[in-house]
Amino acid sequence: MTITSILTDLEGTTTDIRFVHNVLFPYAREHLASYVASQWNNPEVASIVKQVRDEIDDPQADQAAIITVLTRWIDQDKKITPLKALQGLMWADGYANGDFTGHLYKDAYEHLSAWKKAGLSLNVFSSGSVSAQKLLFKYSDYGDLTGLFDGFYDTNYGHKREQSAYESIAKAMGTPAGSILFLSDIQEELDAAKAAGMHTCLLERDDKIDSPRHKVVQSFDQINF
């Protein structure tokens, strides 16, 4: 197989799931009410509020109702596009204030850097918004790594367990699916990517994965192509 491009998931693949669940999500939950209240008239937030109202099919939902819904979605780890967009906006403050830096496994950092040097195209597909993806790499544990990447894709291209999302991303990348290697810790995401014609590799960072349907590795050190 000739791989020219990498498409990688973040949480559980390049980045410790505990950073996302124990640092990023609680930060967004803690700041949600004050952020929505203070930014209510900000056009970007107003557009997110409209998307939330559409999602819950309640065009009259007031500020308190919107905050309640978003808080519930955070608690349920819902991968809903307007929640992800809002989280990205809130995390910008946390990163800029130095409250946290974006976690990246050392092996991911080393291999992404080496692959870039070798001429591969590097791309991200995460449920986190494109802004949130860029923040994680701009303020990463290894400094500003945004320059490593050629493309960032989020759920505006479709959900990560849907084949059509991978087809749309391959099209946007201008690369045949058969030349793309998709990396993820979630089998259903890899199933969808494989159905779209991509090569796949399953990252098993912490827990053993039962009956793997894809090539399994414990770190980027073991990825060969």
Ligand X SMILES: CSCCC(=O)C(=O)COP(=O)(O)O
Note the residues at the interface with Mg ion (CB under 5 A).
9, 11-12, 185
- Rg from Cα positions in the chain: 18
20 contact, one of ligand X, Mg ion, none, CB 5-8 Å limit per kind = ligand X
Of 144, 145, 171, residue with least CA distance to 157: 171
**Distance between CA atoms of 127 and 218, rounded to whole angstroms?**
22
> Per CB under 6 A, does 132 bind ligand X?
yes
199 contact, one of Mg ion, ligand X, none, CB 5-8 Å limit per kind = none
In the complex, what is the shortest distance from the CB of residue 82 to ligand X, in angstroms, rounded to a whole number?
Answer: 13
Say if strands 180-184 and 5-8 run parallel, antiparallel, or are unpaired: parallel
CA angle at residue 129 from 78 to 34, to 5 degrees? Answer: 70
167 contact, one of Mg ion, ligand X, none, CB 5-8 Å limit per kind = none
> Per CB under 6 A, does 190 bind ligand X?
no
Report the sign of the C-alpha dihedral through residues 21, 108, 166, 217, in that order: negative
Half-sphere exposure (CA, 13 Å, Cβ side) for 103? Answer: 16
Among 126, 140, 187, 200, binds ligand X (CB under 6 A): 126
Residue type, position 183, single letter: L
Nearer to ligand X, 74 or 176 (CB): 74
Nearer to Mg ion, 9 or 154 (CB): 9
Among 84, 103, 199, 214, binds ligand X (CB under 6 A): 84
**Distance between CA atoms of 113 and 24, rounded to whole angstroms?**
25
7-26 binders of ligand X (CB under 6 A): 9-12, 20, 24
> Per CB under 6 A, does 103 bind ligand X?
no
> Per CB under 6 A, does 79 bind ligand X?
yes
> Per CB under 6 A, does 140 bind ligand X?
no
List, as one string, the DSSP characters of 103-124: ---HHHHHHHHHHHHTT-EEEE
User: Which residue's Cβ lies closest to ligand X?
Assistant: 128
> Per CB under 6 A, does 128 bind ligand X?
yes
Whether the Cβ atoms of residue 148 and residue 122 lie closer than 8 Å to each other:
yes
What letter would DSSP give residue 208?
Answer: P
Residue whose structure tokens are 């349920």: 76
Among 127, 140, 187, 200, binds ligand X (CB under 6 A): 127
In the complex, what is the shortest distance from the CB of residue 165 to Mg ion, in angstroms, rounded to a whole number?
Answer: 14
H/E run at residue 196: none
Residues near ligand X (CB under 6 A) are: 9-12, 20, 24, 79, 84, 87, 126-128, 132-133, 136, 160
